[in-house]
Amino acid sequence: MDVKIDILTLFPQMFDVFNYSIIGRALKNNILSINTVDIREFTRDKHRKVDDYPYGGGAGMIMAAQPIVDCIKEVRTRNSGKVIYLGPRGETFNQSIAKKLSRENELIFLCGHYEGIDERVYKYIDMEISVGDFVVTGGEMACIPIVDSICRMIPNVLSNRESCVEESFYNGLLEYPQYTRPECFRGDSVPEVLLSGHHENIRKWRRTKSLVMTRDKRPDLFKKISLSEEDRELIKFYDGR
């Protein structure tokens, strides 16, 4: 087994999604393992409660420290990876973080719920990641796309046909437009350059489209890109037509 991922959650069934498509194939081929651990199994409360009211009052419930910490400690006996909490204080997830984490052999993800976790749990957490400045029902909703993004970067998860090298965000740019058969669909034709067989012209066309599309649709990404001299000439030619 190349990569081991444990997900600590109150709702293990939510992660059945990983049994399908590309990640499901990687699991069957033992390229990686994704194991879910039910935090509720570690509570000492006879009613299996894992949450309680916050000290000082306030709306909502807080996940208690005891079941989370005991769960983390048990998982750490067989997984020495970073404990990553899906929470609002963390760095916003992006492709750069995905690349970095995909190089780890073992990872542990903690999914919070309700109004968050007891502050004392943080001393057992190595890293916190956010999916953005908006509210979701629980950490599970954030964990699924994050784990999927990381797993796609693991060697041999994607086949050559599914290579991630030219996907959006991999190199800081949006992906260029893609077309498939038929050549003409309801009066809308595939750009002639893609039918030309001229590989250098196709490369330039794709690079230009990626640059311009990123500039126009995601200027926040575009301003982070170090443009080459060729990039500047391609954009200048495109804008001057």
Binding residues for S-adenosyl-L-methionine: 112, 131-136
| Cα Rg of the chain (Å, integer) | 23
Report the run of H or E that residue 191 belongs to, with start and end. none
How far apart, in whole angstroms, are the C-alpha atoms of residue 140 and residue 170? 24
How far apart, in whole angstroms, are the C-alpha atoms of residue 19 and residue 69? 28
How far apart, in whole angstroms, are the C-alpha atoms of residue 42 and residue 54? 20
| DSSP letter assigned to residue 178 | -
Q: Are strands 184-185 and 51-52 parallel, antiparallel or unpaired?
A: unpaired
- Annotated binding residues, written as ranges, equal 112, 131-136
Three-state SS annotation for 77-135: CCCCCEEEEEEEEEEECCHHHHHHHHCCCEEEEEECCCCCECHHHHHHCCEEEECCCCC
Tokens, residue 46: 């006879």
Q: Residue 51's beta-bridge partner residues?
A: 63
How far apart, in whole angstroms, are the C-alpha atoms of residue 150 and residue 194? 31
